[in-house]
Structure formats: structure tokens, C-alpha cells
Copies of this chain bind each other. A is one copy, B any other.
Amino acid sequence: MAILVTNDDGIYAPGLEALAAAMSEIDEVFVIAPDREQSAVGHAITLSSPLRITHIERECGFTGYATSGTPADAVKLGIKSLMQDLPDLVISGINLGANVGASLIYSGTVSAATEGCLLGVPSIAISLDSRTDGHWETAAEFAKIIARDVLAKGLPEGILLNVNVPDLPRSDVKGVMITSQGKTNFNDFFEERMDPRGQRYYWMCGTLVADDERRDHDVRALADGYISVTPVHYNLTAHKFLGDLSNWELDKNWRGDVH
């Protein structure tokens, strides 16, 4: 029995160390993470180049594997190549920065947990709503609670948990809310600059804006000072549109019966 710990901020991130320490109070911990920051990589996997793995051992006692791959690669490599047995839990984080609303789609943290889920292991993504250093200990405390629950109760096939923790001391957290993924917009834009050789380049800018009246979505819960727990699936079929789409009679159209 073991817990696979990973992240997308890289093997040297303080959030990973905090999470690994918290999980080691529960069980044996196996750490594998990207060798550098891999934020916003989405569910990327590496097909066209080989992957490297380096064993890391730090003076503080932290040990783990660093890989040249993405967060999803890290989980695949850990489970398929390095671990003797399937872990009992995959937990990804503690990410520096919230993963709520539309940012779930871009999140390397969530994708690592999704990969665990795809490989049949109960999986959790956990993020701290901070831009710089923050209250890792608050998130680590909740990680222990939710990890113990998931280990005891399991999760349905194809469902993982996405946890977001406000950057507050434990005593200031309002509570825990079960949430849906919030509807958000990115008001993003590109800042155009000129390099020293007179060539144009672009920086992506912008922030996530909630566009959701409901009280129980992740963006809102977090902003209100609650820990947000969202059950996430990757069943991407928009079932509610299947009927309407059938009425388009694409098959007839393709066969040339419709003129």
C-alpha cells in the first residue's frame, strides 16, 4: 500500500514537500513529479520525445523521482514503470494557485489526478488559492482528512476530487463546501512587445472572471473563505444535445438524400 504524490509546479515546489510530509503520516509515500514547473500544460503527454527520470534525495529527508515529462507523464511513469504495485491513492498538489472554473481545463495539477483516475486509482487534486507562498499547512491538514476518507470509502469509477483551499490560517477557514465547477470567463488578451532585435512577441495576460449566479460553485466558495471540493469526471459527451443533433439528419445529408 502506498500513496503516489505528484504536482505540476515541479519536484522542488514547497507545496509538494508539504503534501508528501502530510501523506507520510498516513502511509508510505512515493513521489514523482516534473523536474520543472509545468503549469497550464493541460492533459499533455509526451509521445514524440523520450522521458528521463532522476532520483532526488534532499537533506531534509525528502526523496522522490523527477521526470522530464508532464504531470500526466509523471503519474503514468510512476504507476506503469517504477512502482511495484498499483498505489491506493494518487494525490496531486499542493498547487500554488487555485484550479477552479474553466482553469480546470488547463490545469496540470488536475490532469495528474485525472491520469491516476484513468489508471484506476482513486485520485485527488489539491490547490492553494495563493499567488506566492502561502498557508501550505492549512491545505496539508485538509489533505490528510480527505485522503483518509478516500482511502476508507473509495471513489466511483471515473470520478476524482478537485480540492481548493483558501490561503488562510486554519482557524479562519469558514468550512468545507461541496461544489460544482463554476462558469467563468477569461478576460484574456495578449500584450505585444518588441525584442532587442526588433521582432514582435506576445505575452498572454488576463484573469479568470466568475460568471455564475449559483452559490455553490468552486470560484464562489473559495472567494467566500470555504474549502471547495468538486467531484470531477471526464465524460465529455454533452448528452443533452444528442437528440437535437440527431435532428440535423447528417446521415441523410451525407448520403445526398437531402437536396
Residue numbers of A with Cβ under 8 A of B are 37, 39-48, 50-53, 72-73, 76-77, 80-81, 102, 104-106, 111, 114, 118, 142, 145-146, 149, 153, 155-156, 158-159, 161, 173, 175-178, 180-181, 186, 188-190, 192-193, 199-204, 227, 229-242, 244-246, 248, 250-251, 253-255
Contact = CB atoms under 8 A, between A and B. Distances in A.
Contacts of A238: 156, 158-159, 231-233
A248 B153 contact: yes
Contact of A44 (B41, B102, B233, B239): B41
A188 B80 contact: yes
Overall SS of chain A's interface:
mixed
How many copies of this kind of chain does the complex include? 2
A201 B51 contact: yes
B190 A51 contact: yes
Q: Of A42, A145, A189, which is in contact with the most chain B CB atoms at under 10 Å from its CB?
A: A42
A57 to B, nearest CB: 17
Nearest to A156: B241
B200 A53 contact: yes
Given A44-B40, A44-B106, A46-B204, A237 B231 contact: yes
A254 B42 contact: no
Contact of A41 (B42, B146, B176): B42
Contacts of A245: 161, 178, 229, 231
